[in-house]
Chains A and B, each alone.
Chain A
Amino acid sequence: MYFRTKKNKKTLLDRLLIKGGRIVNDDQSFYADIYMEDGLIKQIGDNLIVPGGVKTIEANGKMVIPGGIDIHTHFQMPYRGTTTVDDFTQGTKAALAGGTTMIVDHVIPDPGCSLVEAFERWREWADDKACCDYSLHVDITHWNDSVKQEVEVLLKEKGVNSYQVYMAYKDLYQMSNSELYEIFTFLGELGGIVQVHAENGEIIAEEQARMLGMGITGPEGHVLSRPEELEAEAVFRAVTIASQTNCPLYVTRVMSKSAADIISQARKKGNVVFGEPITASLGTDGTHYWSKNWAKAASYVTSPPLSPDPTTPDYLNTLLASGDLNVTGSAHCTFSVAQKAIGKDDFTQIPEGVNGVEERMSLIWDKAVVTGKMDENMFVAVTSTNAAKILNLYPRKGRIAIGSDSDLVIWDPDVVRTITAKTHNSAAEYNVFEGMELRGAPTLVVCQGKIILEDGKLQATSGSGRFIPCSPFPDFAYKRVKARKQLAVLRAVPRGMYDGPVSDFTPMSRGGTPSASARTSPTKAPIRNLHQSGFTLAGPEEAPIRPAGRRIVVPPGGRSNITSLS
């Protein structure tokens, strides 16, 4: 309560000057001073005229970068009556300690329950506890007309522009291809971003039964039942559907080489698709699933799993550096050993998730910048700027510029730290990066214009984080999509009526399968009708109303495929 009052009285009056820093944005680096007031960057330049008595920080030529945005967290996530051990306070503290000043958490409504209610519940939790700004993705865990209306409400009124669907978790969250097609079509019209958890849940279910049948019950069964091909297959399918529906696609948790390859191939063909490797896939591998220490092996359990191929992290870092993968999250979702032990006799029952929110920035610096794969500007792009662009928060977030939020980090590339569960800011007993020595760390973190981390001390305040609404149609994703929609007009060939003989036939022999009704998506007919209800968007853009494919009528002799760049 204390903070609510303070906020109202405009307590963000903190004024701050950073002198002699090298400002690093995603496009360039330059030396200048930064003056902040009321949580915003007010001036950038040399010899700034600032009020007296301003707290001044001497950067001594060190890099000043936009605070990181962790685009994927699961803090305080409910799981079968328990909750992940890092709540919004613990989680955002860990984030800030690592140089991340904004997180985007996933709302996971129980299947059958209201999306808006779940969203409000997450808002309450986070408003109460978050120490840094946050936004929310909403996961679509079931699909029907009312879900559709709720998505529209969330998108237009609640500031949610990204929605995750699951291709895995059969009989729980998993969507059929037809449902995916409808969701993609719907979100493509409303200007949302579709995120997918890409794994083929049907095959996983078969493989799990097989593993358990063979008597494999430990954490190694988790990775054996989820081979990386299943991840790549689902990514491929999601790309196909996104391309058909002309909807921007975002693949969460890119864990394997082959999944990353599919994304980079699709981008080369012109698809609007973004890939999100996470701290864990960039920093470690799946060999630990075979650890003789059950608790350690279980701490690595996440889906898609870490790849047993130890060359995976290096490969993913390379693609991140080359721009084939674009954003990084942590998918931070931590359970205690006792919680993981729910699955001690059956790996399918182990709660899934790994840590990574605190380690993300340092790990990428160490693996990608120190090794010369990317420069400091690209580092800012993949840890902050690109995420801000996709979420439509740019340049408020993700850039050091006048008018932007004063979420900054002074980055010291020379600090060397050893990651260990003994010192980390998470409540979990294990750290999947245990013992890893990383170069690069924040020496000062400024969040909402206030110094949160200085001299290794964290001074975060629960409940000070604000919800940042994200608006639809982010330019970064939708400029291309809109242009393609304008081109995509399908026309029938004008022909005279066919007036020749017509065979007799039994019309209904097709569709006579007994299980046909069960297989058909139950939501089909009403959804189609809504597409044609004359609904228009409230936003300023003249958005196309009809679902538009990306193809155009092919003249005999050739077609121009506008998703192909060649």
Chain B
Amino acid sequence: PLNSERLLIKGAKIVNDDQSLFADIYMEDGLIKQIGENLIVPGGVKTIDAQGRMVMPGGIDVHTRFQMPDRGMTAADDFYQGTCAALAGGTTMIIDHVVPECGIGLLAAFNQWRDWADSKSCCDYSLHVDITEWHRGIQEDMETLVKDHGVNSFLVYLAYKDVFQLTDSQIYEVFSVIRDLGAVAQVHAENGDIIAEEQHRILDLGITGPEGHVLTHPEEVEAEAVNRSVTVANQTNCPLYITKVMSKSAADVIAQARKKGTVVFGEPITASLGTDGSHYWSKNWAKAAAYVTSPPLSPDPTTPDYLSSLLSCGDLQVTGSAHCTFSTAQRAVGKDDFTLIPEGTNGTEERMSIIWDKCVVTGKMDENQFVAVTSTNAAKIFNLYPRKGRVAVGSDADLVLWDPDITKIISAKSHNLAVEYNIFEGMEVRGAPLVVISQGKIVLEDGTLHTTEGSGRYVARKPYPDYVYKRIKARSRLAELRGVPRGLYDGPVCEVSVTPKAVTPASSAKTSPAKQPTQPVRNLHQSGFSLSGAQIDDNVPRRNTQRIVAPPGGRANITSLG
């Protein structure tokens, strides 16, 4: 009964990422069936008159953390509350992060998240899986998730020392596995080692409030980690996706890497596009704590404008909310020590309107680019396109009737969230959804939400998204390394004492724990494992790199466009 609804939108200005055009849209069974003028539709169909207003693909929030567990607590917005807020803002699909506790395994955690979301989510959803530790079992879980469970993106942490953080060697190995699986490597980019040192120092100085959070996470530390992950991604020929781009310098590193040809995508979030980090110095502890997230909001108040500009020019491509909310009482766990404050900000409901207000109203981008950064690009990167992210025949009937003239004042009093603070409190934004259609059903109309708990479907994603992997594949075909054929060296050879390498007492501790299983890991790469969903990719060489043998006199660096 759910999908049997029929719906007609008349007189719409259809806005896709490439063009806008006037037409009617007919939907049935949750799919778009016809687009055009004078459509022949069954009688008695519910009809919405768009009156020339914009109808665009529903937003995709690529980054949410609903119901996220943190030290025995749970994020205040669960999948029901969170997806309601998303729909109220014009977002019809979310991609949540599975954060496995160490030792649990990716698969078990994934199933846990599926349970939670299937029972509560009101819109379609998919799941990223975070790699919070690294050993052979994790690699097997990743293969299973890609093959059997429709996961094509994994996130690694360069921060959270001694909890989630991986070493450079581990990241190299994870990226190699991700590339072989045809998935996208996501990175939480901050240098956790430096942060840990700074936290000690700042606490020693007697700074315990939320301002300590931003003082210990300077933006350089974010930019450094972005730069390092770009380097590892280039080495491993693995597509890279930077979550939560919060600062100018991190965004600059991404923009530079793209100019050099790196396949890298940057995701600013609602918070970094809409507000800044000056509030960490608020005298109201609860308010200051509400802004705590990592990487932190930049204290530089020109940051949101800068990030909006890069989003408009294409240097940054997708937007999420990183919606992860905690109540004041939950935040207060860190009232005497900022390092204990649970991290995360709101933004899933405000995302579309804030981007419209900051980017489209100001003339930085047009309505088509707006669709690209709020929906289409996300669908392309995560292989959901054109089912999601486009108004086209055959696509899912996830649509938004957008009114650019509505003005709203964001406030915790009226938001659809379970928390006491809204970090955009008092902000006046232009542009909002009038009607929201999810799975062919009207879920928002006349300012009223009609959501159904548990109606959201899990959307499986195949590996090797074209938008990402076409270039990667071309590069791996070029990347063949050969040794130089030489006669055997038959001259004298100096005698040496036994290699002193690895005499360091600390060397075993320094070696990554994943190092020993490296051999089996490497062998698995060549085990002839093939992806069930990836029929076209069997010809892709497994081990590949972006470099080729340089002939004397020069080398062609194919990651360099110059």
Q: Which residues of A contact B (CB under 8 A)?
A: 80-82, 110-112, 142, 170-172, 174, 176-178, 181-182, 185, 200, 202-203, 205-207, 209-211, 213-218, 220-221, 224, 227, 229-230, 232-233, 236-237, 240-241, 243-244, 286-288, 290-295, 297, 308-310, 336-339, 341-342, 344, 349, 490-496, 498, 500-507, 509-516, 518-520, 522, 528, 532, 547, 549, 551, 553-559, 561
Option from B169, B481, B550 in Cβ contact (under 8 Å) with A211: B481
Chain A residue numbers with a CB within 8 Å of B557 are 309
Q: Is A511 within 8 A of B162, CB to CB?
A: yes
Given contacts A230-B231, A492-B206, contact A553 B333 (CB under 8 A): no
The docked-state distance in angstroms from the alpha carbon of A182 to that of B201 is: 11
Main secondary structure on A side of the interface with B? loop
Option from A217, A516, A528 in Cβ contact (under 8 Å) with B204: A528
Given contacts A81-B496, A341-B493, A520-B162, contact A237 B550 (CB under 8 A): no
* A-contact bits for B329-347, CB 8 A (1 contact / 0 none): 1101101000000000000
Cβ contacts A to B, 29 pairs, < 8 Å: A112-B503, A170-B510, A171-B504, A174-B510, A177-B193, A177-B194, A178-B197, A185-B197, A207-B235, A210-B545, A214-B481, A220-B483, A220-B549, A229-B231, A240-B220, A243-B220, A286-B550, A292-B484, A294-B486, A338-B491, A338-B493, A493-B282, A493-B288, A498-B286, A502-B333, A510-B163, A547-B201, A554-B277, A554-B278
The docked-state distance in angstroms from the alpha carbon of A190 to that of B301 is: 36
Option from A172, A505, A532 in Cβ contact (under 8 Å) with B502: A172
> Which of B210-218, B317-325, B363-371, B438-446 forms contacts with chain A?
B210-218
Top 9 A-B pairs ranked by shortest CB distance? A81-B497, A177-B193, A202-B168, A506-B72, A240-B224, A233-B231, A556-B278, A516-B162, A501-B329
Q: Which of B234, B485, B504, B551 has the most CB of A within 10 A?
A: B504
Chain A residue numbers with a CB within 8 Å of B70 are 505
Q: Is A111 within 8 A of B208, CB to CB?
A: no
Q: Is A308 within 8 A of B489, CB to CB?
A: no
Nearest-CB distance from A328 to chain B (Å)?
Answer: 25
* A-contact bits for B150-192, CB 8 A (1 contact / 0 none): 0000000000111101011100110000000000000000010
Question: B470 within 8 Å of A by Cβ?
Answer: no
Given contacts A221-B483, A559-B300, contact A210 B552 (CB under 8 A): no
Nearest B residue to A341 via CB reads B493
Chain B residue numbers with a CB within 8 Å of A295 are 489, 491
Q: Which residues of B contact A (CB under 8 A)?
A: 70-73, 101-103, 133, 160-163, 165, 167-169, 172-173, 191, 193-194, 196-198, 200-202, 204-209, 211-212, 214-215, 218, 220-221, 223-224, 227-228, 231-232, 234-235, 277-279, 281-286, 288, 299-301, 327-330, 332-333, 335, 481-489, 491-497, 499-507, 509-513, 518, 522, 543, 545, 547, 549-555, 557
Q: Is B501 within 8 A of A491, CB to CB?
A: no
Q: Is A511 within 8 A of B494, CB to CB?
A: no
Q: Is B278 within 8 A of A82, CB to CB?
A: no
Nearest-CB distance from B200 to chain A (Å)?
Answer: 6
Nearest B residue to A307 via CB reads B555
Q: Is A224 within 8 A of B278, CB to CB?
A: no
The docked-state distance in angstroms from the alpha carbon of A210 to that of B552 is: 22
Chain B residue numbers with a CB within 8 Å of A502 are 329, 332-333, 335
Q: Which of B278, B332, B496 has the most CB of A within 10 A?
A: B496
Main secondary structure on B side of the interface with A? loop
Nearest-CB distance from A107 to chain B (Å)?
Answer: 16
Nearest-CB distance from B163 to chain A (Å)?
Answer: 5
Q: Is B234 within 8 A of A341, CB to CB?
A: no
Q: Is A338 within 8 A of B492, CB to CB?
A: yes
Chain A residue numbers with a CB within 8 Å of B502 are 171-172
The docked-state distance in angstroms from the alpha carbon of A221 to that of B550 is: 11
Chain A residue numbers with a CB within 8 Å of B288 are 493
Q: Is B212 within 8 A of A504, CB to CB?
A: no
Nearest B residue to A288 via CB reads B552
Chain A residue numbers with a CB within 8 Å of B285 are 495-496, 498
The docked-state distance in angstroms from the alpha carbon of A227 to that of B501 is: 23
Chain A residue numbers with a CB within 8 Å of B202 are 490
Q: Which of B167, B281, B494, B513 has the most CB of A within 10 A?
A: B494
Chain B residue numbers with a CB within 8 Å of A503 are 73, 327, 329-330, 332-333
